[in-house]
């Protein structure tokens, strides 16, 4: 799961150091710390366990105290192998080495040249043959053969790589969407309206960055910038120079460029930066320090934050294995880089303060106060309407907030239960603690197959037995593709039927896919990096962590079905899904308008 506990652990560690708590000093309970720092109690418990594994805290029974630093002898047996297949200078590997050494853990570095990337699975197999205590894998971009190896190895392991798909292993990843958003909003605040993304070669990381770049540009209203993707196939200085100059001749209106740190450094040699053009690089904090002018960067000021999470997670895995405890679920920590402002960007408008306020408004356009209050036109003249939430408690089969709940991998957090008014409709969201840990109806898909050994349904019937003027559904979709994958079939007591197909918008990649007239999109993926919009009979529902909006934002959708036969009784709603289509569906609530 993508977890908040790395941030909670860092927050707790910073607080302990700031308070100068001596060894043996007691800490408050998890509930008290959760209220103090703005996390859940469960997150603070995981954060505490991470600091215990890291040697900062000590637990005796229920009592949590600051550990005595002399306790640095590791209880871990064996050697941890650090395998890196690229000569990266981001400080992650040295930080891992430092932390393992501080904890008294033996380690060995295996540095594989970039040219041997294809041989990495074979090298990893040789490392596994040495029976290491665990492995830290640092690669720039994962290839399929490495992913296949990761899925089969039983060894404790943490990987730091971009484009890594679900392998059952813990991983550290960079939140490229938020990084791109930070960079573009910074340029927007400075008055830039014509921006370009420039990169060399193509891999999963560059494809992902292109998708995110287009999505953020559209969110900021920068439609022209969304199409300014400049690329070249080879990473050679002469080819980069010609490609960059040719692109700028075609688009002289461009005033700012986003690029990897190596390319951004070259741009400072080809142009007068920032007089002619502003530049932001993505990479390491130290990159661009020696360029003229120094580069503004999206990077981590302190790479030890990533290394700390990787080490504590790996140590927890190793301790579980060596003490024959149950194996921990794999975790994915998503970190957002810092915007390090230097001298390669400048304002191009005297209206900077007004533009800054406008950029902030645009960046927060998905605030619940805006998306939740978009009432369906059909309801605007129904002020005295009678509502009837349908009973779903006995049909609910899955947790909303637990690990591997919701749609099968990530939990749905920061969406409160109870009666919620959304788009003018009162939806009754189940309280899972009062319903045996079940709050949603999740249907079978390639990513969500079963719960506790029981297959998830591909079809079920929701009793209605009412004469509704309309029905409203609150639901979520995962792994969206622009294909019909589910249906709501309304069965009338007379034997007639009326149906609605669910069709996600999916990844638009800057242009909306074409749909036949009878199958228009009416739902979208719940993940923040998809393009979200309202449809004629379906509206988006945005929600996020109020204490940290940038760290967590997700989307649900409501759907309106207007009864073509309002005088006839609707006996039931049949929900059908195609389990092989790809997208996943979870139904949260259904309400009838009488």
Q: Are residues 245 and 332 both part of a single domain?
A: no
Q: Using CA atoms, how far apart are residues 436 and 457, in angstroms rounded to an integer?
A: 18
Q: Which two tokens stand for residue 174?
A: 């960079």
- Give the pLDDT of residue 508: 65
Confidence of residue 71 (pLDDT cuts 50, 70, 90): very low
42 part of a folded domain: yes
522 part of a folded domain: yes
Q: What percent of the chain has pLDDT over 70?
A: 85
316 part of a folded domain: no
323 part of a folded domain: no
Average pLDDT over residues 366-380: 71
- Give the pLDDT of residue 366: 41
Q: CATH number of the domain that 354 lies in?
A: 3.40.50.2300
Residue 2 pLDDT greater than 60, yes or no: no
* Kind and range of the H or E run holding 239: helix 237-250
Higher pLDDT, 212 or 3: 212
Q: Render pLDDT for 498-540 as a digit per residue (tens, 0 to 9).
A: 999 999 998 765 555 666 666 789 999 998 878 889 999 999 9
Q: Using CA atoms, how far apart are residues 321 and 293, in angstroms rounded to an integer?
A: 51
Q: Are residues 126 and 234 both part of a single domain?
A: no
Q: Render pLDDT for 548-569 as a digit per residue (tens, 0 to 9).
A: 555 678 899 999 999 999 999 9
Q: Which two tokens stand for residue 364?
A: 């927060």
- Give the pLDDT of residue 53: 64
Q: CATH number of the domain that 60 lies in?
A: 1.10.10.10
**DSSP state at residue 398:** B
Q: Are residues 347 and 473 both part of a single domain?
A: no
- Give the pLDDT of residue 327: 67
Q: Are residues 254 and 392 both part of a single domain?
A: no
Q: Render pLDDT for 263-311 as a digit per residue (tens, 0 to 9).
A: 898 888 888 899 889 999 988 878 778 888 999 999 888 778 888 888 8
Q: Using CA atoms, how far apart are residues 282 and 295, in angstroms rounded to an integer?
A: 10
Contacts of 410 (CB under 8 A, 6+ apart): 1, 2
Confidence of residue 546 (pLDDT cuts 50, 70, 90): low
Q: Are residues 263 and 296 both part of a single domain?
A: yes
Instruction: State how many domains the chain has.
Output: 4
Q: Which two tokens stand for residue 448?
A: 């969500």
Q: Are residues 222 and 112 both part of a single domain?
A: no
Confidence of residue 315 (pLDDT cuts 50, 70, 90): confident
Q: Are 201 and 233 in contact (CB under 8 A)?
A: yes
Q: Are residues 145 and 14 both part of a single domain?
A: no
- Give the pLDDT of residue 399: 92
Q: Are residues 472 and 489 both part of a single domain?
A: yes
9 part of a folded domain: yes
Identify the domain containing residue 157 by its residue range. 79-174+328-336
Q: Are residues 147 and 166 both part of a single domain?
A: yes
Higher pLDDT, 33 or 202: 33
Q: Using CA atoms, how far apart are residues 164 and 166, in angstroms rounded to an integer?
A: 7
Q: Are residues 540 and 551 both part of a single domain?
A: yes
Q: Provide the b/e sequence for 313-330 (b: ≥16 CB within 10 Å).
A: bbbbbbbebeeeeeeeeb
Q: Which of 223, 240, 221 minimizes the C-alpha distance to 231?
A: 240
Q: Render pLDDT for 433-486 as a digit per residue (tens, 0 to 9).
A: 889 999 999 999 988 888 888 899 999 999 999 999 999 999 999 999 889 999
315 part of a folded domain: no
- Give the pLDDT of residue 99: 85
Tokens 């009754």 correspond to what residue? 428
Q: Are 157 and 135 in contact (CB under 8 A)?
A: yes
Q: Are residues 517 and 391 both part of a single domain?
A: yes
Q: Are residues 42 and 88 both part of a single domain?
A: no
Higher pLDDT, 252 or 208: 252
């Amino acid at each position: 799961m993508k977890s908040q506990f790395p941030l909670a652990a860092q927050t707790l560690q910073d607080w302990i150091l700031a308070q100068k708590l001596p060894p043996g000093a007691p800490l408050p309970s998890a509930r008290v710390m959760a209220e103090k720092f703005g996390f859940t109690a469960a997150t603070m418990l995981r954060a505490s366990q991470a600091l215990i594994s890291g040697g900062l805290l000590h637990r005796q029974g229920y009592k949590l105290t600051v550990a005595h630093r002399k306790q640095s002898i590791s209880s871990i047996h064996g050697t941890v192998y650090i395998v890196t297949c690229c000569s990266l200078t981001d400080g992650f590997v040295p930080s891992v080495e430092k932390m393992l050494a501080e904890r008294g853990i033996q380690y060995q570095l295996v540095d594989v040249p970039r040219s041997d990337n294809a041989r990495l699975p074979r090298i990893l197999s040789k490392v596994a043959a040495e029976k290491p205590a665990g492995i830290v894998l640092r690669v720039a971009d994962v290839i399929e053969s490495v992913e296949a190896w990761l899925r089969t190895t039983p060894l404790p392991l943490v990987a730091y790589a971009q484009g890594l798909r679900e392998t059952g292993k813990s991983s550290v990843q960079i939140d490229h969407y938020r990084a791109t958003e930070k960079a573009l909003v910074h340029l927007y605040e400075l008055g830039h309206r014509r921006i370009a993304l420039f990169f060399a070669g193509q891999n999963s990381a560059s494809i992902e960055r292109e998708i995110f770049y287009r999505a953020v540009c559209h969110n900021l209203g920068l439609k022209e910038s969304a199409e300014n993707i400049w690329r070249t196939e080879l990473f050679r200085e002469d080819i980069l120079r010609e490609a960059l100059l040719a692109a700028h001749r075609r688009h002289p209106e461009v005033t700012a460029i986003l690029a990897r740190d190596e390319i951004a450094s070259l741009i400072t040699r080809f142009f007068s930066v920032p007089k002619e053009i502003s530049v932001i690089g993505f990479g390491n904090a130290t990159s661009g320090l020696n360029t003229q002018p120094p580069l503004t960067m999206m990077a981590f000021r302190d790479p030890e934050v990533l290394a700390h999470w990787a080490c504590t997670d790996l140590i927890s895995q190793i301790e579980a294995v060596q003490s024959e405890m149950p194996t921990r679920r794999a975790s994915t920590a998503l970190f957002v880089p810092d915007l390090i402002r230097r001298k390669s960007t400048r304002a191009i408008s005297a209206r900077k303060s007004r533009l800054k306020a406008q950029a902030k408004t645009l960046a927060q356009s998905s605030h619940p106060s805006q998306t939740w209050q978009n009432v369906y036109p059909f309801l605007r003249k129904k002020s005295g309407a009678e509502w009837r939430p349908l009973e779903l408690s006995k049909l609910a089969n899955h947790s909303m907030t637990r690990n591997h709940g919701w749609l099968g991998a990530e939990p749905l957090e920061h969406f409160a239960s109870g009666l919620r008014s959304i788009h003018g409709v009162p939806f009754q969201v189940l309280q899972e603690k009062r319903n045996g840990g079940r709050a949603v109806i999740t249907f079978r898909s390639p990513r969500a197959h079963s719960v506790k050994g029981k297959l998830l349904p591909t079809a079920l019937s929701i009793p209605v037995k009412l004469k509704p003027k309309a029905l409203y559904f609150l639901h979520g979709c995962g792994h969206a593709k622009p294909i019909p994958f589910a249906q709501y079939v309304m069965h009338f007591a007379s034997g007639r039927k009326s149906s609605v197909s669910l069709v996600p918008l999916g990844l638009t990649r800057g242009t909306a896919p074409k749909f036949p007239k009878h199958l228009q999109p009416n739902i979208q993926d719940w993940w923040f990096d998809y393009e979200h919009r309202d449809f004629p009979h379906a509206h988006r529902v945005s929600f996020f962590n109020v204490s940290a909006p940038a760290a967590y934002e997700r989307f649900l959708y409501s759907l309106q079905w207007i009864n073509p036969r309002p005088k006839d009784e609707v006996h039931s709603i049949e929900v059908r899904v195609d389990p092989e289509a790809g997208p996943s569906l979870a139904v949260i609530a259904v309400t009838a308008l009488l």
